Amino acid sequence: MKTKILIACILCLFLAKLPAQNGWTITGRVLEDVSGEAMVAVNVLLYAPDSTLIASAATDADGLFSLATSRPGDCSVAVSFVGYSSQRFDLSLTDRSRNVMHPDIVLQPLDIALSGVEIVARRRQTVYRLDRKVIEASGYISAAGGTAVDILEQTPSVRVDANGELSFRGSSGFKVYIDGKPATMDGSAALEQIPAGQIESIEIVSTPSARNEADGVAGIINVNMKKQSGSGWSGMLNATGSSVASRSADFMASYRAGDVRWQTSGEVSRRYLVSDFDQLKHISMDDTTTTTRATGERTSFVDLYALRTGLDWERGRTTWSGALETRYRVRNRGGYLHYEDTYRSNVTGEETAASYDGHDYVRLHDLTLRGDVGFEHRLADDGRRLTGSFFAFYEHDAMEFFFTDLFYPDGSRAQGHRAWEHEYRLTAQGNLDFVLPFGDRAGKFETGYYFFTYTEDGDYRVDVYNPSLSAFERRDDLYNRYVFRRDIHALYAMLSNTHGKLSYQAGLRGEFIHRKLENSEAWARHTWNKLDLFPSAHLAWAFDESSRLRLGYSRRITQPQLFYMEPYVVYVDHYTAQSGNPKIRPEYTNSVELTYERTMGEHSASATLFHRRRTDKIERVRVPYHTGVTLDSISNVGDDYATGGEVATNFQVAKWWNMDVSGSLFHYMIANEYKVDNDSESLNWQLALNNNLDVARNTRVRLESYFVGPSVSTQGRVDEFFYFNFSVRQQLLERRLSAILNVRDVFSTAKYVDTKNGPSMDSRTVIYPRSPLITLSLSYTFNNFRSQRREERVTHDLFEGTNR
């Protein structure tokens, strides 16, 4: 039945081609002055002589626009894009020419247009399009030497926990794209591998259209990398060091000659986090209540070695592209903890005590190879376009190693554990998309096919220390062998158009999902097949060229990854174990949001209202495992709801002083079965106040203040915290060399407090980051490589140890 509904809906959208409107059509193309490339999403507005808005449009991927009107006579067209000088030209519409083709319109970047003055113009930090929010990465010096996570953290409703995991409006289920192509990893793991210095902009798509894959309940984060501007050779070099021994170096080099563009980039880095850890646990089990106090140092680091090269070649109406990428990554998390245990009999009340010293870490390393190919063929000058892409990604000899040791005060070993997950992974994905303009090119019909396949083959081995033998023994009874496969096939259709001040987009996506897990444990084996429908809708109303209202809706899914389903138990430290759940179900989300934006000269403001409902929320739940030890297992904990708003403003206080204020306030509620009290909801809030001060020519100071409110989880809550950052940038050698000094958590006020409660168990974890954290970054561009566009983002990833 669902298959018939899907086919009927797609056929209806195919038949929705509208007849051409009577009247006049104005078409043209918008190009960027420096690179000569087409500009996407440029605002093009048609006005009557009395300044009444007649029609509006946004340029497509080829920089083309089309305006339709039934009013003859004089009119004017205004063309504007954030960070570029605007243009306006007059027209007279007569019966002699019903189709007006305007010559190419070239927009000049403001930072070039104003290069002769003391204060260089800034691009707006956030730009809103029909279905997404675009964060420009140009003026945020505090992200220097960091990653995409550092750029995103200042965004309203974005939160980073003490383990560096990013969430948006309470959900961490988001997909990451790079230049419109799926990243090789998911979520925060993908973002932390993208150097901030190579980022042009980041798009947050919280209500994605049917064109996009449906996975990721929080939406899509698309990172646009910097591209070559102009012909010949150009490039950039970045280097960073910090007070906790983090260091990184990355480069990007490009060559462009005619219709061929080649680009290569690479990175070598080690990024550290160091925190002081303090945890108190109470566990009641088997007539004994165990109280454990764990204190010590937690550290983590990520080593990354990456190299990527790509080629774009335009021949006639077709542009071909190809890329190769290889990465070697080591991720290590662990530390040294001192344990004070108290054991109290629930029967006699007798108490005993013991002390231990522990050393533990989890290390993951993998070597990956990825290849991409793609094409874009312009079928005609009217905007008909066929595009296709394919990538394959292979992870060789991926190894995750779990290491725990527990010692008596005299240094002799009490317990120990070694475990290995050894895996090979293969991913392939492809899509074919077709675009058909209609209605004098003001409208657009899109359809396409998508496929995805993922296979993981691995095993799990464990050695446990035997005190009677004073040696580690292989536990063959705990050995686990598994093969996991997921296949997705999808069709979608979308319709979009503009009528005067109104723009709309509607779509439907159908996905057939096949999932199969083979496992040495018979109870864990399963096969899962399902056909799902994912609609989307977006509306925009342009009041005038300075204000717009947007409304968006989408339905999304989060597919459980294999590590959610692994049936065996691993130890993060001697007192904390983790396991998966082979029967875990997907999450589903329905999201709607309403956004109003307005520009007022050099000032801007936006406000968003949103509501999200998620069913079958996936989360780790902490329960007693055995004496003194808790188990964090994966569960579908119930439904959650987020309803609230976000506000972002930017003020040009003076020629030398720019201030941005952003914040969010939303009610978050979890309806679940794991709480031991009724505290399952919270009023979540965040506030950021940032000042950019141009204190001298080519010298900028940035002052950041961040306040993060409390939030609830399935079993507890995370307390509020706040901190302050300071950054200064000095540009030298005609702005080709930038030196940036960052000081994070200047007054050492950041503190992460996580409380969990459950049946017969409670824990309180406090993490203090080593602060202040000082970072020095250098960046050099050569041969007029486009100026960096880095966004200033807070880094709430100050803490290490939240998975305890």
Give 462-509 pLDDT, tens digit per residue: 999 999 999 999 999 889 999 999 999 999 999 998 887 888 899 999
Q: Which residue has the tokens 């071909």?
A: 320
Cα angle value 450/454/458 (rounded, 5°):
180
Burial class (CB in 10 A: 0-12, 13-18, 19+), 424: middle
Bridge partners of 340, per DSSP, are 293, 355
Q: What is the pLDDT of residue 164?
A: 60
Tell me the C-alpha distance between 441 and 496, whole Å: 11
> Looking at residue 193, what is its pLDDT?
73
pLDDT score at 535:
96
> Are the CB atoms for 625 and 572 separated by under 8 Å?
no
Q: What pLDDT does residue 363 have? A: 92
Angle at 160 between CA 756 and CA 368, to 5 degrees: 110
CA distance 423 to 417: 20
How does residue 21 score in pLDDT terms, banded at 50, 70 and 90? very low
What is the C-alpha separation between 373 and 389, in angstroms, rounded? 6
Q: How far apart are CA 274 and CA 639, in angstroms?
A: 35
Rank 115-119, 186-190, 442-446 by mean pLDDT and report only the highest.
442-446
Q: Which amino acid is at 274?
A: V
Q: Which amino acid is at 208?
A: P
pLDDT at residue 783, as a whole number:
74
DSSP readout, 80-142?
E-TTB--EEEEEEE-TT-SEEEPPPEEE-BHHHHTTTSSSPP---SEEE-SS-EEEE-SB-GG
Pairing of strands 174-178, 219-225: parallel
Residue that the structure tokens 């901190």 belong to: 723
Instruction: Yes or no: say if 320 and 375 are a contact pair by the CB < 8 Å rule.
Output: yes
Residues 175, 214 contacting (CB under 8 angstroms): no
Could you tell me the CA-to-CA distances from 611 to 330, 664, 776 in Å, in that order? 38, 13, 41
| Rounded average pLDDT over 733-737 | 86
Residue 112: φ, ψ to 5°? -90, -40
Q: Is the model's pLDDT at 802 over the cut of 50?
A: no
Q: Token digits for 310?
A: 């790509």
Once rounded to an integer, what is the mean pLDDT over residues 145-168?
67
Query: DSSP per residue over 706-726, as a string?
Result: EEE--EE-SSEEE--EEEEEE
Range in 6-20, 70-84, 378-392, 769-783 the model is least confident about? 6-20
Task: Give the pLDDT score at 257.
Answer: 86
Residue 365 · residue 305 · CB < 8 Å: no
Reply yes or no on whether the pLDDT at 774 is more than 80: yes
With CA atoms as reference, report the closest residue to 803 among 181, 366, 162, 271. 162
Q: For residues 787 and 226, what is the distance between their CA atoms, to the nearest angstrom?
A: 9
Q: Comparing 624 with 464, which gets the higher pLDDT?
A: 464
By the 8 A CB rule, do 674 and 758 touch? yes
Question: pLDDT tens digit string along 268-322?
Answer: 999 888 999 999 999 998 889 999 999 999 999 999 999 999 999 988 889 999 9
- 390: part of which helix (H) or strand (E)? strand 385-407
Distance between CA 146 and CA 197 in Å, rounded?
8
pLDDT single digits (tens) 562-605: 888 988 888 877 788 888 899 899 999 999 999 998 877 777 88
CB 75 within 8 A of CB 55: no
How far apart CA 500 and CA 21 sit, in angstroms, is: 12
Cα–Cα distance, 171 to 614 (Å, whole number) = 9
- Given a cut of 50, whether residue 121 has pLDDT beyond it is no
Mean pLDDT within 4-33 = 58
CA distance between the termini of the chain:
47
Amino acid identity for residue 577 in this structure: A
Round to whole Å and give the CA distance between 619 and 78: 50
Let me know: does 711 contact 170? Beta carbons within 8 Å: yes
In whole angstroms, what is the distance from residue 706 CA to residue 690 CA? 9
Mean pLDDT of the chain: 82
- The DSSP symbol for 171 reads B
Give the closest residue to 201 by CA, choosing from 786, 797, 798: 786
Reported as a pLDDT band with limits 50, 70 and 90, residue 144 is low
Which residue bears the tokens 């040696």? 471
Query: What is the C-alpha separation between 676 and 753, in angstroms, rounded?
Result: 19
CA 654 to chain centre: 33
